[in-house]
Amino acid sequence: DQQVKQNSPSLSVQEGRISILNCDYTNSMFDYFLWYKKYPAEGPTFLISISSIKDKNEDGRFTVFLNKSAKHLSLHIVPSQPGDSAVYFCAATLIQGAQKLVFGQGTRLTINP
Amino acid sequence: DGGITQSPKYLFRKEGQNVTLSCEQNLNHDAMYWYRQDPGQGLRLIYYSQIVNDFQKGDIAEGYSVSREKKESFPLTVTSAQKNPTAFYLCASSRTGPANTGELFFGEGSRLTVL
């Protein structure tokens, strides 16, 4: 049972344009969400997070949007840069600080020059 | 430099052999975790430990064992009972209590291949 789903295995975007990565979840009890970025043969690194009491969180070129009624979150990257090419994982947890993150399958983002 | 060190980076094992993956952290984090990554399946939790001498099973603990004798160390043993051990293994750590933001800090991973 996949509680966190990233239905797009891959996404290709032109440099300078907006990249939008999507994530859906099924457990309405999740109330804290995170995005991680992963390069090949490396561990994931934390990118941005959002609490369920918010619908938007921004950090530089990265913005995460949360739609609780739709159980959907998205990561926007504007403008996209070649260094953004990586696999992006969304993750969810029940309470901030809880120890178990549930990860999606990941989306491979490729930024084309 | 504070961080998480996993070793070895690459490991080959014959079927029927146990193998232990090392994970050491100097971030002074109480909690440590082991995840497994397979193509198309994201990261799945194997075991986690919130404090020394205590650990809990994650979603796919069968065929694995761990110990947490020291705060800095959380080794994972892949036993011969694990049916599909070939995977990329990731160790992580986090703060606990009020200081915990939910963020996990990951090591660089260990790729295990069973021949």
pLDDT digits (tens, 9 = 90+) for B51-88: 999 999 999 999 999 999 999 999 999 998 888 999 99
Cα dist. A84→A29, A46, A62 in Å? 31, 13, 11
For residue B51, what is the nearest residue in chain A, using CA coordinates?
A: A99
Q: Quote the minimal CA–CA distance from A105 to chain B in Å.
A: 4
The reported pLDDT for the residue numbered B62 is 96
Please judge whether B48 and A99 are an interchain contact, meaning their C-beta atoms are less than 8 angstroms apart.
yes
CA dihedral A15, A16, A18, A21 (to 10 degrees): 40
Q: Which residues of chain A have pLDDT under 50?
A: none
pLDDT at position A31 is: 86
Q: What is the pLDDT of residues A27-42, one digit of tens each?
A: 998 989 999 999 988 8
Average pLDDT, chain B: 91
pLDDT above 70 (res B1): no
d(CA B112, CA B109): 10
Q: Using CA atoms, how far apart are residues A61 and A77, in angstroms rounded to an integer?
A: 5
Predicted confidence at residue B16, as pLDDT, reads 87
Give yes or no for residue B42 having a pLDDT over 90: no
Chain A contact set for B40 (CB, 8 A): 9, 105
Distance from CA of B28 to the nearest CA of A (A): 16
Residue length, chain A?
Answer: 113
Chain B interface includes A74 (CB < 8 A): no
Write out pLDDT tens, residues B79-108.
Answer: 988 889 999 999 999 988 766 777 889 999
Question: Which one of A6, A46, A100 has the shortest CB-CB distance to B103?
Answer: A46
